[in-house]
Structure 1
Amino acid sequence: MMRVLVPLAQGCEELEAVTIIDLLRRAEIEVVTAGLTDGPVTASRGTVLVPDTTLAAVVDQMFEMIVLPGGLPGAQYLEEDSRLYTMLRRHAEQGAYTAAICAAPKVLAVAGVLDDRQATCYPGCVAPDAFPRLTLIDAPVVTDGRVITGRGPGAAMDFALELIAALVGPERRDQVEAALIRSH
């Protein structure tokens, strides 16, 4: 079974975190949520999330994908966690997927994962001058190789569906989306 790590930081964007976790689990992908510290995580709008484990407990494990929810100050806490950089670089070097949405693509940029790639993020979260090897695209979701980025909370469902397509194929993605009864 595919395993995906979703690190949860205090102040993360709950719409993004919960949508990612929920849709991946609907696709029968194992999702491991890991708090940067022990205990519950209070998201940006006050929703309390209870991670499955801590980042310290899984730091040496490999996953098919690491997905970073955005939100502030959650993305800043992710950006300040050196363990995450080690994991992101190791996963990227070994061909695993890395993904981030909203303010969190900056973490991928700082880790060097977005060098020579196209990506999207919440407007203003990534300064183009600071990352000259990154091409920012104004789109809800951008996939470039094994890196997937999303613009913000409004793109969370499309972002999560793209993650499913990448991991288990477009047919499974379409099945999950059909059961959601989305209007287009």
Structure 2
Amino acid sequence: MTRVLVPLAQGCEELEAVTIIDLLRRAEIEVVTAGLTEGPVKASRGTVLVPDTTLDAVKDEDFAMVVLPGGLPGARYLEEDGRIRAILERHQRQGSYTAAICAAPKVLASAGLLDGRRATSYPGALLAADFPKVELVDAPVIVDGSVVTSQGPGTAMDFTLQLIELLAGRERRDQVERALVRPA
């Protein structure tokens, strides 16, 4: 089964985190949620999330994709965590997908993983002056090679459906989307 790592930091955006976890699991993709620290994660709006494990327990494992939820201060904690950077760099070298939404594309940019790529983020999270090697695009979801970025809570469903398509194919994406009763 395809495995995806979703690191959860204190102050993450819960709508993004839950949408990513829920839809990937609906697509029968194994999702491993890993807290940066032990114990529950209090998201940006006060929702408490209970990770499956800790980042230390899975940091050396391989995944088909690593997906970073945004939100503040969660994305900042991801950016400051050397384990996250090492995981992202290793997975990119291996050709695995990396994905980030909202403020989290800055984590990828700070690690140099968006250099020479097209990307999007929450407005103002990525600035051209700070990341001149990144082509910033105002679009809900951008796929550039093995990197996927998205803008924020309102694009979380489109973002995750795109991740499903990349990991499990268009047919699986369509099955999940139909069951959600999304308007055309």
TM-score, L = length of structure 1: 0.99
Give 2:12's aligned residue.
Answer: 12
Shift in Å, 1:16: 0.1
Render the CA deviation track for 1:94-148: whole Å, top value 9, x for unaligned.
Answer: 0000000000000000111111000100000112112111001000000001100
Shift in Å, 1:80: 0.7
Task: Write the distance in 2 (CA, Å) between the matches of 1:109 and 1:45.
Answer: 25
Give 2:2's aligned residue.
Answer: 2
Shift in Å, 1:72: 0.5
Unaligned residue ranges in structure 2 (runs of 5+): none
Pair 1:39-2:39 in alignment: yes
Give 2:95's aligned residue.
Answer: 95
Partner SS state of residue 171, structure 1: helix
Shift in Å, 1:63: 0.3
Render the CA deviation track for 1:30-80: whole Å, top value 9, x for unaligned.
Answer: 000000000000001110000000011111111000000000010011011
Give 1:160's aligned residue.
Answer: 160
Identity of aligned residues (%): 72
Task: Write the distance in 1 (CA, Å) between the matches of 2:11 and 2:102.
Answer: 13
Number of aligned pairs? 184
Task: Write the distance in 2 (CA, Å) between the matches of 1:175 and 1:43.
Answer: 30
Q: Where in structure 1 do 4 or more consecutive aligned residues deviate above 2 Å? A: none
Task: Write the distance in 2 (CA, Å) between the matches of 1:183 and 1:168.
Answer: 22
For residues 1-184 of structure 1, the aligned pairs below 5 Å read: 1-184=1-184
Task: Write the distance in 2 (CA, Å) between the matches of 1:5 and 1:117.
Answer: 22
Partner SS state of residue 5, structure 1: strand
Partner SS state of residue 106, structure 1: helix
Partner SS state of residue 130, structure 1: coil
Unaligned residue ranges in structure 1 (runs of 5+): none
TM-score, L = length of structure 2: 0.99
